[in-house]
């Protein structure tokens, strides 16, 4: 018995020593050495700088090389979020610290050594390009990393700080202006390429994934020459950007031309009360952030450089970063943005205002004879014109023009809080395996049910499989066929998860005719 006891004791000490040595607790990265926190087999490094603070003369400039440090930087907590309305930060339960000094990223890794070469998943947060942060509890990468991937989340500048275009800035760069937030994302991906192997990650198997503005960013990176070779698969949750440039209030158009964006920037400086960019760079961030309506008018720009132009046309010309993609939308996204009732007359007026000569086609596809119909149609056209058509068009173009396969999903998992369908962002905690940690408007309230946990395990398995191989399929999972222009099959995540024909195609086809018309109008 004594011998057995000693054997067990030695084995326990061996396991403890192995566990202590198994994780990567420190690493040398660009700029210096960092120390993380190891918990239950996952090493977390939070707040690693990947670029110089974009302050003072570096405001409204591409991200600059990170400043080196001496000693070992402790990376046990998140850095401050980029400047934004603090209400947005609090809404999602994130720490409320905000700062212009915000270009930091986070790494979670289950690797036991730097030689493991695990697939890497790089998260890009959403928030309409005016809000968002890596420190939202639902974005914690621990549980996803437990499935055998290294997870990275990257901060990027927002609102006027991330997307101000101005003739002076265009002249200064010689390449256009207004896409500093996207350039931050690209700088983060360059950091991953240069450093992730030290955390056991494989720099040749990088998947970018994001939701809403993050999903739109994935689409933009897929069309950006500046991002070429920095990622090898793309996942977009409720994203995509395949409409023509916005010049006024066109329905479904969000990305302005450089000329339009520069005009917006000039008007902003007038409201700010300064004569030029040099003077604006001297102002405190709080004054810039505080200008009424200053944040909502800023979005990525077709600058001719980072975003060369209409992505639909770039794909048609095979000018894109060709990788496998996994993309999709949620069934009731519009309720998040159109929560109240919409009168039939108001619905019709809004369609006629935004959809030009194609308004009748759109109105025919979206019933609106009663308040109930017009309310649902107002939500559905927001879903379709903002997310679903872009996703469908992206899948068609990728399957026709690219070598990488397209896998498309439709998230319709329903809960007591969302009996009519899944709201915007509702899929995030299922993917991250962080059910119960999402405090936003699409949150799952109360304890997760067995069917919620089963859905989370299913979706995270698909996502991780895709990151590993470029194909979400795996043992024990319902078959997920690739989308093609002829078959147009998508994976429904609902009570009977399975592959079925693409949903809402009457509406999608009407919008496709509308967007084709808009592209023709843009050429005149």
Instruction: Give the model confidence (pLDDT) of 53-67 as tens digits.
Output: 999 999 999 999 999
Do residues 319 and 334 both lie within one domain? no
Contact 263, 142 (CB under 8 A): no
Do residues 235 and 369 both lie within one domain? no
Three-state secondary structure readout of 157-200: CCHHHHHCCCHHHHHHHCCCCCCHHHHHHHHHHHHHHHHHHHHC
Of the candidates 211, 374, 424, 456, the residue annotated as catalytic is: 424
Do residues 85 and 45 both lie within one domain? yes
- Its domain, for residue 515, covers 330-524
Do residues 353 and 436 both lie within one domain? yes
Q: What does the pLDDT look like over 118-159, one tens digit per residue?
A: 999 999 999 999 999 999 999 999 999 999 999 999 999 999
Boundary residue ending a domain (323, 355, 378): 323
| Spatial CA neighbour of 22 closest among 43, 45, 46 | 43
Q: Does position 116 have pLDDT exceeding 50, yes or no?
A: yes
The number of distinct structural domains making up the chain is 2
166 is an active site residue: no
What's the rounded Cα separation, in Å, for the pair 59 and 18?
Answer: 47
Do residues 316 and 337 both lie within one domain? no
What pLDDT, on a 0 to 100 scale, did the predictor assign at position 21?
45
Q: What does the pLDDT look like over 152-188, one tens digit per residue?
A: 999 999 999 999 999 999 999 999 999 999 999 999 9
Q: Distance of CA 110 to CAs 149, 188, 517, Å?
A: 7, 20, 50
Boundary residue ending a domain (279, 307, 323): 323
What's the rounded Cα separation, in Å, for the pair 155 and 105?
Answer: 6
Contact 517, 251 (CB under 8 A): no
26 is an active site residue: no
Do residues 80 and 225 both lie within one domain? yes
- Could you tell me the pLDDT band of residue 445, with boundaries at 50, 70 and 90? low
Of the candidates 311, 333, 374, 413, the residue annotated as catalytic is: 333
Mean pLDDT score of the chain: 93
286 is an active site residue: no
Contact 218, 124 (CB under 8 A): yes
Do residues 313 and 334 both lie within one domain? no
Q: Does position 6 have pLDDT exceeding 60, yes or no?
A: no
Do residues 89 and 175 both lie within one domain? yes
Do residues 249 and 319 both lie within one domain? yes
Residues 6+ apart with CB under 8 A from 154: 50, 105, 122, 123, 124, 134, 184, 185, 188, 189
- Could you tell me the pLDDT band of residue 1, with boundaries at 50, 70 and 90? very low
Of the candidates 212, 377, 399, 460, the residue annotated as catalytic is: 212
Boundary residue ending a domain (299, 323, 347): 323
What pLDDT, on a 0 to 100 scale, did the predictor assign at position 439?
73
Q: What does the pLDDT look like over 214-239, one tens digit per residue?
A: 999 999 999 999 999 999 999 999 99
Q: Which ranges in 291-365 belong to alpha helices (H)?
A: 311-316, 334-337, 344-354, 359-365
What does the pLDDT average to over 38-50?
97
Q: What does the pLDDT look like over 343-392, one tens digit per residue?
A: 999 999 999 999 999 999 999 999 999 999 999 999 999 999 999 999 99
Contact 482, 406 (CB under 8 A): yes
| CATH number of the domain bearing residue 507 | 3.40.50.1820
Do residues 253 and 142 both lie within one domain? yes
Do residues 343 and 248 both lie within one domain? no
Do residues 110 and 78 both lie within one domain? yes
Can you spell out the DSSP letters for 388-426?
A: IHHHHHHHHHHHHH-SS-EEEEEE----SS-TT---TTT
What pLDDT, on a 0 to 100 scale, did the predictor assign at position 93?
87
């Amino acid at each position: 018995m004594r011998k057995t006891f000693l054997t067990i004791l030695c084995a326990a000490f061996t396991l403890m020593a192995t566990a202590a040595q198994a994780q990567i607790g420190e690493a040398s990265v660009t700029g210096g050495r960092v120390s993380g926190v190891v918990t239950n087999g996952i090493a977390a490094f939070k707040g690693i700088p990947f670029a110089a603070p974009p302050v003072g003369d570096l405001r409204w400039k591409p991200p600059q090389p990170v400043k080196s440090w001496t000693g070992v930087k402790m990376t046990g907590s998140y850095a401050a979020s980029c400047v934004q309305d603090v209400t947005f930060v609090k809404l999602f339960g994130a720490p409320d610290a905000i700062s212009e000094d915000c270009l930091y990223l986070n790494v979670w890794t289950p690797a036991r050594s730097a030689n493991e070469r695990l697939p890497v998943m790089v998260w890009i947060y959403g928030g309409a390009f005016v809000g968002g942060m890596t420190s939202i509890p639902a974005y914690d990468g621990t549980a996803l990393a437990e499935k055998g991937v290294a997870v990275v989340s990257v901060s990027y500048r927002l609102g006027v700080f991330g997307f101000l275009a101005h003739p002076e800035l265009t002249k200064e760069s010689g390449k256009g202006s207004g896409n500093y937030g996207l350039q931050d994302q690209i700088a983060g991906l360059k950091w991953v390429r240069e450093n992730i192997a030290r955390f056991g990650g494989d720099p040749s198997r990088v998947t970018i994934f994001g939701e809403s503005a993050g999903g739109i960013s994935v689409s933009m990176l897929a069309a950006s020459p500046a991002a070429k070779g920095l990622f090898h698969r793309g996942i977009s949750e409720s994203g995509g950007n395949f409409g023509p440039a916005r010049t006024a209030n066109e329905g479904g158009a969000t990305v302005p031309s450089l000329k339009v964006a520069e005009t917006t920037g000039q008007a902003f400086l007038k409201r700010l009360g300064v004569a030029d960019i040099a003077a604006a760079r001297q102002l405190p961030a709080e004054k810039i952030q505080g200008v009424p309506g200053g944040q909502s008018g800023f979005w990525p720009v077709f600058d001719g450089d980072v975003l060369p132009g209409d992505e639909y046309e770039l794909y048609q010309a095979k000018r894109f970063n060709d990788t496998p993609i996994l993309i999709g939308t949620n069934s009731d996204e519009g309720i998040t943005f159109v929560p109240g009732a919409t009168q039939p007359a108001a619905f019709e007026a809004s369609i006629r205002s935004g959809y030009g000569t194609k308004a009748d086609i759109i109105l025919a596809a979206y019933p609106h004879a009663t308040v109930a119909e017009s309310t649902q149609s107002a939500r559905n056209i927001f879903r379709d014109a903002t997310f679903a058509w872009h996703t469908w068009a992206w899948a068609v173009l990728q399957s026709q023009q690219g070598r990488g396969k397209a896998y498309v999903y439709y998230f319709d998992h329903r809960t007591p809080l969302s009996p009519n369908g899944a709201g915007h962002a509702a899929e995030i905690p299922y993917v991250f395996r962080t059910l119960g940690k999402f405090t936003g408007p699409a949150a799952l309230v109360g304890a997760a049910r067995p069917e919620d946990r089963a859905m989370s395990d299913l979706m995270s398995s698909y996502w991780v499989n895709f990151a590993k191989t470029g194909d979400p399929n795996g043992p024990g999972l319902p078959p997920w066929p690739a989308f093609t222009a002829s078959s147009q099959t998508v994976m429904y995540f609902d009570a009977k998860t399975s592959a079925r024909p693409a949903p809402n195609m009457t509406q999608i086809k009407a919008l496709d005719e509308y967007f084709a018309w808009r592209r023709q109008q843009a050429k005149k």
